[in-house]
């Protein structure tokens, strides 16, 4: 039960983008750890993420 | 043994579904319980999803689990990312479900509960879901290409340009009609106006909070925003009872329309993080929360539907909009049954997130089933009202007169008893000055929702529930309005960029201001006319929106049919060709009637002619005579637009048929633009489950 609730909470965080920075860090760690790309700060990452989220048609009738 | 058990369960679901459908179709008593609607819908959805969607996946589209999706091949950690299927489902559903499925069914309830309900259920499983799934599949096989690009690749330049024009046009009409719905909900309602106005500073605060105060703390900021929104609903009651504040927020339609235009313009040029993004968060949470609450309340309360199965208005003289059952019920309910707009979402962000093709039925077909279910709940909320009350709220003054006694007498004479006293006490309960002629669907839906919530969770707070429902509708109508204005601005900048490349720079201020102003002027014009029109405007604008939306659906289905034929699936091409044919029939019939009908409540030209005749013979009241010239011009504009929409649709369908003919007779056609097969290497546990 507790596990399911935790899963639901993770889903909500993922859907809303609350954990976007954590996912970015993970992605950065896995994909780019060998290269010398600097890690963005949370505030800087969030700006880019938010602006990128709003390209194209997002909402419908 | 297990196979027999499964078969028995599906047999049982079929039987329950069939009897529920039969029940609501054949019932002719005083009232019928809303649970029948829920049961009928859920059983049909379950069967359609289990059998039809699966058959579509395996036989028609031939989904391939071994094929790498664009999310895997082009994974860049931002827009292309393999994402868990339920997360993609959530994003996709939040994007497709707007105010449309709430408004359409409410308006279509003038024909009785039956036609709308059947169209919502069967239109979705055979049309809308298939369209969404087909376009999602096609876009996933084409690196997440947009509908417009696919139209250009598969049908040529004509198809591509038509899709672009259709998208732009539908955006303009959609925003104006949504603006009108909000204006009608706020007109002379200080409580409603205050609550809706308060959503703007709340959104700004949330925007600053998640960008600067606590960067990235999205849920925290949203929770703060939702809390403040609920406070604003409560504070509205105080504003309503305060003499000075009451006057400030008690505005007429035209003033509110200008405010909305100013707001739309500001929202289109402001950075997204300030207003658009935070408002979108708030509206998504409100939407999901309220819809779930409504579902729970309906199941708990099991309200009775008071509207008859069919009303005499199926003959075409309905007070909300003119026109017979066929084709107008199919035009009025677009979202919830089949909505072309979804094709833009299915070929937008979603195909870039899907980790495996096997999830296409869940996301494409399944999300649309859920939207159809939202439409069923809107139908229930509209039809639990006494029919007399429903018609009193939704009939414009131009139809029933502006005097309360005369209006109720007229509605009672139609066979739906209602008294002025009853309406007044209802308005008082809801904290409104009047509920007469509050057209657009939002107020009657709010009364319906308030009475359901009130009965299920406490009768004492009806006014609070009513304004909560108004706020809930307004917040995501305004989200669609500002997001739509912004998208319209980008599209216009893109188009103007072909003439003068500098215009396409999305951050060049003169271009931003000019293109935003043009888009706002476009929808602002229709909104303005809708507000000054004594017949309420919804009567004209909603069918126009329906035609535009169905035309876009026809374009999407034409693309899908053309590709199916070219993919050697001719024998299965009926899955998209039949809904396409149906849309062509209803759109053409509607357009034809809108152009040539001698009935002034249907035909644009007939109405224009009658109005100019009355104007010339000085038969109009001075008030009406002052707006008549504008209304006449507008009716002609509407006629031209209807003609263009229908011609565009026919051009594309003929273009598609021509391409299919060439393909089938072995003449050269443009090749399929599908990306080549690459083996998927993704099998990590998190993607699978």
- Over residues B442-465, the mean pLDDT reads 89
CA distance B35 to B37: 5
The confidence band for B684, taking pLDDT boundaries of 50, 70 and 90, is low
Task: Flag whether A28 is in a domain.
Answer: yes
- For residue A4, tell me if it sits in a domain: no
Residues forming a β-bridge with B422: none
Taking the C-alpha atoms of residue B526 and residue B538, their distance in angstroms, rounded to an integer, is 11
CATH code, domain carrying B623:
1.20.1740.10
How far away is chain B from the Cα of A56, in angstroms, using its nearest Cα? 7
Q: Name the domain count of chain A.
A: 1
Report whether pLDDT(B688) > 70: no
Taking CB atoms and an 8 Å limit, are B90 and A47 in contact across chains?
A: no
Instruction: Kindly provide the ipTM of the predicted complex, given to two decimals.
Output: 0.91
Q: Is the pLDDT of residue B373 over 90?
A: yes
Q: Check pLDDT > 80 for residue B677.
A: yes
The pLDDT value recorded for residue B685 is 46
Q: Is the pLDDT of residue B687 over 60?
A: no
Mean pLDDT within B323-341: 94
Res. B2: pLDDT tops 60: yes
**pLDDT of A13 higher than 60:** yes
In a domain, A48, yes or no: yes
Tell me the residue range of the domain where B332 lies: 2-188+251-671
- In this predicted structure, the answer to whether residue A9 has a pLDDT above a threshold of 60 is yes
Residues of B in contact with A30 (CB under 8 A): none
Q: For A28-37, B230-239, B451-460, which range has the lowest pLDDT when averaged over its residues? A: A28-37
B264-305 per-position pLDDT tens digit: 999 988 988 999 899 999 999 898 899 999 999 999 999 999
**Interface membership of A25 toward B (CB under 8 Å):** no
Quick one: closest CA in A to B548, which residue? A61
Beta-carbon separation of A49 and B484 below 8 A: no
Q: Do A16 and B218 touch (CB under 8 A)?
A: yes
Kindly state whether residue A10 falls inside one of the protein's structural domains: no
Report the alpha-carbon distance of residue B524 to residue B170 in Å, rounded. Answer: 14
Examine residue B685 and state whether it is found in any structural domain, yes or no.
no
Dist. CA B372–CA B379, nearest whole Å: 11
Residues B615-656: pLDDT tens digits?
999 998 888 899 999 999 999 999 999 999 999 999 999 999
Q: Is residue B620 included in any domain, yes or no?
A: yes
Give the dihedral sign, CA B635/B641/B643/B645: negative
Residues of A in contact with B146 (CB under 8 A): 56
Residue B642 CB coordination number (10 Å): 22
The shortest C-alpha distance from A34 to chain B (Å) reads 16
Residue B119 lies inside a defined structural domain of this protein? yes
Q: Residue B435 — very low, low, confident or very high, per pLDDT cuts 50/70/90?
A: very high
**pLDDT value of residue B507:** 82
Residue B214 lies in a domain: no
Residue of B13, B140, B32, B38 whose CA lies nearest to B85: B140
What's the pLDDT score for residue B637? Answer: 95
B-chain residues near A60 (CB < 8 A): 95-98, 100, 335, 339, 341-342, 344-345, 480
pLDDT digits (tens, 9 = 90+) for B203-250: 999 999 999 999 989 999 999 999 999 999 999 999 999 999 999 999
**Could you tell me if residue B243 is inside a domain?**
no
With beta carbons under 8 A apart, name residues in chain B contacting A54: 272, 276-277
A13 is a domain residue: no
Average pLDDT over residues B385-407: 93
Whether residue B689 is predicted with pLDDT greater than 60 in this model: the reply is no
Percent of chain B past pLDDT 70, that is, above it, reads 99
A32: containing domain: 19-55
Is B601 inside any structural domain?
yes
Looking at residue B266, what DSSP letter applies? Answer: H
Into how many domains does chain B fold?
Answer: 1
Put simply, the chain A residues between 31 and 60 with a CB less than 8 A from any chain B CB are: 31, 42-43, 45-47, 49-60
DSSP category for residue B305:
E
Q: Could you tell me if residue A8 is inside a domain?
A: no
At residue B63 the predicted structure's pLDDT band, cuts being 50, 70 and 90, is very high
């Amino acid at each position: 039960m507790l596990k399911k609730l935790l899963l639901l909470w993770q889903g909500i965080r993922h859907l809303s983008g609350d954990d976007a920075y954590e996912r970015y860090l993970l992605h950065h760690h896995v994909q780019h750890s060998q290269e010398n790309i600097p890690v963005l700060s949370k505030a800087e990452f969030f700006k880019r993420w938010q602006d990128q989220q709003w390209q194209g048609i997002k909402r419908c009738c | 043994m297990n196979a027999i058990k499964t078969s028995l369960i599906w047999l049982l679901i079929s039987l329950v579904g069939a009897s529920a459908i039969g029940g609501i179709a054949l019932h002719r008593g005083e009232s019928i319980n809303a649970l029948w609607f829920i049961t009928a819908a859920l059983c049909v959805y379950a069967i359609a999803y289990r059998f039809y969607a699966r058959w579509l996946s395996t036989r028609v589209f031939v989904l391939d689990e071994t094929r790498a999706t664009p999310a895997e091949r082009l994974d860049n950690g931002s827009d292309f990312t393999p994402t868990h299927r339920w997360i993609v489902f959530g994003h996709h559903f939040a994007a497709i479900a707007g105010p449309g499925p709430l408004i359409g069914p409410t308006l279509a309830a003038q024909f009785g509960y039956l036609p709308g309900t059947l169209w919502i259920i069967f239109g979705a499983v055979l049309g809308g879901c298939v369209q969404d799934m087909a376009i999602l599949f096609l876009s996933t096989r084409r690196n997440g290409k947009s509908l417009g690009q696919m139209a250009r690749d598969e049908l040529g330049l004509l198809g591509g340009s038509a899709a672009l024009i259709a998208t732009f046009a539908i955006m303009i009409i959609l925003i104006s009609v949504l603006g009108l719905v909000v204006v009608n909900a706020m007109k002379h309602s200080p409580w409603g106006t205050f609550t809706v106005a308060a959503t703007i500073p709340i959104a700004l605060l949330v925007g600053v909070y998640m960008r600067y105060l606590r960067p990235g703390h999205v849920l925290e900021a949203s929770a703060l925003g939702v809390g403040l929104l609920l406070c604003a609903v409560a504070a509205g009651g105080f504003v309503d009872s305060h003499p000075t504040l009451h006057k400030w927020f008690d505005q007429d339609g035209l003033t509110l329309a200008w405010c909305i235009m100013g707001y739309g313009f500001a929202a289109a040029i402001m950075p997204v993080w300030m207003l658009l993004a935070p408002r979108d968060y708030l509206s998504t949470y409100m939407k999901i929360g309220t819809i779930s609450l409504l579902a729970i309340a309906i199941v708990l309360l099991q309200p009775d539907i008071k509207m008859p199965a069919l009303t005499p208005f199926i003959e075409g003289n309905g007070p909300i909009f003119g026109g017979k059952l066929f084709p107008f019920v199919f035009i009025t309910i677009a979202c919830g049954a089949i909505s072309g707009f979804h094709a833009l979402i299915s070929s937008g962000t979603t195909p870039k997130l899907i980790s495996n093709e096997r999830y296409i039925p869940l996301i494409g077909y399944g999300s649309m089933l859920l939207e159809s279910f939202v439409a069923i709940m809107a139908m229930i909320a509209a039809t639990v009202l006494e029919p007399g009350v429903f018609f009193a709220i939704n009939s414009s003054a131009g139809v029933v007169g502006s005097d309360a006694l005369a209006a109720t007498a007229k509605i009672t004479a139609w066979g739906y008893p209602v008294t002025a006293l009853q309406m007044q006490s209802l308005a008082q309960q809801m904290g409104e000055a009047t509920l007469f002629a509050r057209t657009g669907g939002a107020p009657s839906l709010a009364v319906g929702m308030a009475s359901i919530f009130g009965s299920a969770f406490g009768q004492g707070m009806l006014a609070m529930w009513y304004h909560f429902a108004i706020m809930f509708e307004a917040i995501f109508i305004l989200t669609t309005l500002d997001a739509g204005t912004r998208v319209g601005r980008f599209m216009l900048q893109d188009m103007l960029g072909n003439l003068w490349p500098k215009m396409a720079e999305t951050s060049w201020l003169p271009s931003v201001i000019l293109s935003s102003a043009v888009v706002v002027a476009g929808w602002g014009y229709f909104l303005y006319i809708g507000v000054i029109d004594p017949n309420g405007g919804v009567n004209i604008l909603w069918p126009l929106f329906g035609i535009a939306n169905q035309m876009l659906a026809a374009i999407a289905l034409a693309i899908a049919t053309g590709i199916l034929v070219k993919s050697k699936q001719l024998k299965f091409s009926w899955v998209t060709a039949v809904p396409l044919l149906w849309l062509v029939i209803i759109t053409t019939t509607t357009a034809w009637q809108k152009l040539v009908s001698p009935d002034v409540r249907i035909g644009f030209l007939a109405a224009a002619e009658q109005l100019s005749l009355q104007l010339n013979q000085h038969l109009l009241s001075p008030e009406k005579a002052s707006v008549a010239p504008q209304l006449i011009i507008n009716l002609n504009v509407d006629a031209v637009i209807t003609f263009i929409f229908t011609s565009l649709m026919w051009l594309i369908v003929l273009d598609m048929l021509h391409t299919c003919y060439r393909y089938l007779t072995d003449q050269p056609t443009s090749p399929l633009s599908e990306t080549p097969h690459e083996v998927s290497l993704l099998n990590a546990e998190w993607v699978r489950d």
